[in-house]
Structures are given as C-alpha cells and as structure tokens.
Amino acid sequence: MLVMDCTLRDGANVVGKGFDARLTKMMIEGMIAAGITTIEMGNCLGLGAYEANGSIAPCTDEEYLQLIQPYLSQAEIGMFLGYKNATQPNVDLAARYGLKFLRIGANAGDGAGACEGIRRVKAAGMKCRYSLMKAYVLSPKELAEEAKMLADCGLDEITIMDSAGTMMPHETEAYTKELVAAVDIPVAFHGHNNLGLSVANAIAAAEAGATVFDCGLLGMARSAGNCATELLVATFQRLGYFKDIDLYKLLAFLDGELIPAMEEYNYHVAVKPFDLILGLAGCHSSFTKRFQNIADEMGVPLYQLIVEVSKRDQKAPSEELIRQIAADLV
C-alpha cells in the first residue's frame, strides 16, 4: 500500500493557486524525513494551467520543477495535468526536469479525450497516473468501463476521485470493487471530507482492493479538504499498514513547523496532532495534565509516552505507571 500526498497540489487551494517556494521546500523535506515519498506538487490546477487557465501561482511550472531538483533522488515527485493541457510541450517540460510521474485528470465520462495525453506521458518515459474526477457522476460499472479503456491506453495507476466528498463507505466499496475487477493496474482513492467520511472511505477502499491513498497534510485541500495525511497514517498503522512511515516525526513536523507556518493564512486544523494521539492510543483527555507534567519533568516525548502507557492501561493510568514507562523512554 502507498500514501500519495497531494498537499502541495490540491492543498494549495487553501492559499490560492500554489504554495510559495519556502512552504514547498518545507513540506517536501518534512514528508521525506517522515518516510512519505510519493508526492504530487505544483500549481493546484496542474502543469500548464498557469498559462492556459490563468491559474497564477507563486511559482511558474518551470520554477517548481527547478525547486524540486535536489529531492528527486529521495522521493517520487510528480505533477497533476488536466487532460486538455496534456500537450507535447508540457509533457516534454516535465520529462526534461526529471519528473517521476504525471497524473492526468478528467471528469468521469470524459476519458476518451485523455488517451493521447497518456500515450505522450508514457512515450516520454514517465509513469502515468490518472484521476477519474467526480467519479460519482457515473455508476460503478460505467466508471469501471471507462477505467478499462484508459488502462488499455497504457496507464500505470488509476484514481477514484470523490471530488465533492459525497460518497458513503458502501458506495466507495462498490466503486473500488468494480475497478479492481476491471483493470490490472493499481487502483487509488482520493476522498474529500465534506461529510467527515474521508478516513472511513479510505478504509472501505482498502478493504475493497485499493492500494494507493491520496491525502493532504492537516487535511489541506479544496472545499472541506482531503483525508488528512496524519489521520490516514495513524488509522492505517492501527490496521497494520504504513509501518515504514514515522508517525512521530510527521507529527513533530506538523506541530513544530507546518501548523505555525499556516497560522498566517488563518488555516484551522480540524484534528490537532495531540488529539490524534489520544485517539490512536485510546487515552482519555482527562489524563492530559498528568502525562504532560511527567513528560516535561523527565524529558521524554509526550506522544510516545501516551501511546506506550495506554498499551498497559487505557482506563486509569496511575502516576506510578506513567513514571515507570517514562523511565524506559529516557
């Protein structure tokens, strides 16, 4: 299974059309350090949108491509590409700068217009992903038929996009099962959180055979946001997946760097890292002060302390137990 972080593309909607160079570098470095190494970035409307769609981001496509050069050996970094912008010059630009993938996107039902773009991406030697945007406008069987047609054009991966955050888990399951049965390439899921169901939908997609999951740091994305990367990782780690991602490093990056940086944009974090840890551990918030005081006194990481103590006692962890576990963490 794979995490596809889309913060630096879809998440840019919370600040305009793209993140500036400082925030882009900060997030790439924070993700790589935590083990998240499949990253979609650039203009929120994709490669070529700066000129063709008047989507003016802080950096041009070429400036974003120059910016990521130091990171290409450490991560699989790519860009989104609206199918109408999948021109030869745009594909050539991405290939020239060593981009690892392009993800072509079109509304469900419009896939026939994307086949030539898929062939261009593959001919240029890059991985080609595809987003079935507004997937819910077709029935599961209709979407699977379109997915099969697109896969036959040479795709490497195809994404079911719940663009309005409208799908229920049982619907996500139905769409995913149909696509998994129809194609021999990985099926991905991209959920928005308008009904608060993005994590539940990701789980439903996983149970139905999806293996790639789109997400965004702090849930950042258009409208109500994407499935939050940190929530996805924490939840899936409880299910036994994504053990190669260092959740504690990720949360430290969010607490120490990204959340403070986003304050100037008045961005509100729906579930803060501390509350995520309480949920992950099964620790009641009434014990917060006791944990915080002992962590500070003994100089141990608060989040790890809560998790390790809660493995022993979720009901009423004593000060003695907390100090005992803290001593082991020193």
CA quadruple 28, 33, 39, 41: dihedral, nearest 10: 0
**What does the pLDDT read at residue 174?**
98
Q: For residue 64, what are the contacts with CB-CB under 8 A and spacing of at least 6?
A: 18, 24, 41, 42, 43, 57, 79
Architecture of the structural domain at 273-329: Orthogonal Bundle (1.10)
E-strand stretches of 120-207: 127-133, 157-162, 187-191
- For the domain made up of 2-265, give the CATH fold: TIM Barrel (3.20.20)
Question: Hey, do 2-265 and 273-329 end up sharing a CATH topology, with the first three levels equal?
Answer: no
**What does the pLDDT read at residue 142?**
98
**What does the pLDDT read at residue 53?**
87
Output 12 or 54, whichever has higher pLDDT.
Answer: 12
User: What does residue 314 show for φ and ψ, rounded to 5 degrees?
Assistant: -95, -20
Residue with tokens 């509304």: 107
What are the structural domain ranges in the chain? 2-265, 273-329
Q: What is the pLDDT of residues 159-169, one digit of tens each?
A: 999 999 999 99
Q: What is the pLDDT of residues 94-121, one digit of tens each?
A: 999 999 999 999 999 999 999 999 999 9
Write out the two tokens for 67. Answer: 């910016």
Check if the beta carbon of residue 162 is closer than 8 Å to that of residue 131. no
Q: What is the pLDDT of residues 137-189, one digit of tens each?
A: 999 999 999 999 999 999 999 999 999 999 999 999 999 999 999 999 999 99
Pick from 163, 41, 173: nearest CA to 106: 163
Residue with tokens 């149970």: 207
User: What does residue 35 show for φ and ψ, rounded to 5 degrees?
Assistant: 95, 10
Q: Is the pLDDT of residue 51 over 90?
A: no
From residue 218, how far is each of 5, 181, 204 by CA, in Å? 11, 33, 21
Q: What is the pLDDT of residues 198-212, one digit of tens each?
A: 999 999 999 999 999
